[in-house]
Amino acid sequence: MYEYQIGLERDELAEYPDEEAEELALIYAARGMEVEQARALAQTLIKDPAQALDALAREELGINPQDLGSPWGAAIASFVSFAAGATLPLVPFLAGWPLARGTFAAAALTLVTLYAIGMLLSLFTGRNAWLGGLRMMAIGAAAGAATFLIGRLLGVAVG
């Protein structure tokens, strides 16, 4: 998500370098630097796109591009997230609910959780929260329906 935000900043820097330089100068001026000195520093930074992007990521977004994490860290976080998400539909059955009631509760719990995750992700993507929730819920519902239909085609049934 941070890489996405940095990518947006990279696009803005390529398309509007003067505006980005002024934005950077305003940030430095707001921190107490003389306005002319802040503009001069920003103009110097903008001359080197890599250096300018690094400065914008740090100053505007509050992101250190060198601290974005490792692939191993991302893999471990992804594993833990998927494992936790996979246990949610099991909760009604672990609570001892009957099959029909547990299946309905598992589906409802899953859809509500997917909707909440979609809304939370919108905080990082800048998309509409309600539509993000609906999108995530629709993807989960489609995956569940496909799994159900494949099971029916193969003759696999629960119960």
pLDDT digits over 61-114, tens only? Answer: 776 766 666 778 878 988 998 898 889 999 999 999 999 999 999 999 999 999
Residues 16 and 89 in one domain: no
How does the average pLDDT of the chain come out, rounded? 85
3-state secondary structure of 126: coil
DSSP 47: T
Residues 49 and 119 in one domain: no
Q: Is the pTM of this model over 0.75?
A: no
Residues 84 and 52 in one domain: no
Domain that holds residue 44: 2-67
Q: Tell me which of 32, 67, 102 is where a domain ends.
A: 67
Residues 76 and 140 in one domain: yes
CA atoms 81, 86, 88, 91: torsion sign: negative
- Looking at the structure of the chain, the number of domains it has is 2
Other C-beta atoms lying within 10 Å of the C-beta of residue 87: 10
Residues 119 and 103 in one domain: yes
The span from the CA of 89 to the CA of 108, in Å, is 9
Residues 61 and 130 in one domain: no
Residue 159 counted as domain residue: no
* Residue range 18-50, pLDDT digits in tens: 888 888 888 888 888 888 888 888 888 888 888
Q: Tell me which of 41, 67, 93 is where a domain ends.
A: 67
